[in-house]
Amino acid sequence: MPALYLGQAIVQLLEETNPPVVTEYSLYALVRPILESGSYKGRPITRMPTHWGHSQLRAMIYTLMKKRTLAPDEDFKTGVWQFVQSLTAASAEQAICLVDPFAYISHLSAMQRYGFTDRAPEALHMTTPARALWTQMRTQRMAEDYSEASVIERPPPLIRIGLQSVIRRRPISLHETKHPARPTDIADNSSRIANVGRVFVDMLDEPALCGGIQHVLQTFERHAEDWVEEIAGAVDAFDSPIIYVRAGYIFDELLDIRIPQVERWHGFAQRGGSRKLDPHAEYGSRFSAKWMMALNV
User: Going along 119-169, which residue ranges are E strands?
Assistant: 124-129, 166-167
258 within a domain of the structure (yes/no)? yes
120 within a domain of the structure (yes/no)? no
Confidence (pTM): 0.92
3 within a domain of the structure (yes/no)? no
41 within a domain of the structure (yes/no)? no
Angstrom distance (rounded) from CA 34 to CA 9? 8
Angstrom distance (rounded) from CA 132 to CA 113? 29
291 within a domain of the structure (yes/no)? yes
Nearest to 40 by CA among 32, 50, 49, 28: 32
Digit-by-digit pLDDT tens for the chain (297 residues) are 688 889 999 999 999 999 989 999 999 999 989 988 889 898 999 988 777 778 889 999 999 999 999 999 999 989 999 999 876 788 999 999 999 999 999 999 999 999 999 999 999 999 999 999 999 999 999 999 888 766 566 788 999 998 999 999 999 999 999 999 999 999 877 899 999 999 999 999 999 999 999 999 999 999 999 999 999 999 999 999 999 999 999 999 999 999 999 999 999 998 766 789 999 888 877 889 999 999 988
Q: Is 81 helix (H, G, I), strand (E, B) or coil?
A: strand
Please provide the average confidence, as pLDDT, over all residues in the chain.
Answer: 92
223 within a domain of the structure (yes/no)? yes
160 within a domain of the structure (yes/no)? no
Can you give the residue range of the structural domain that contains 270? 195-297
19 within a domain of the structure (yes/no)? no
Domain count, the chain: 1
Q: Are the CB atoms for 232 and 258 separated by under 8 Å?
A: no
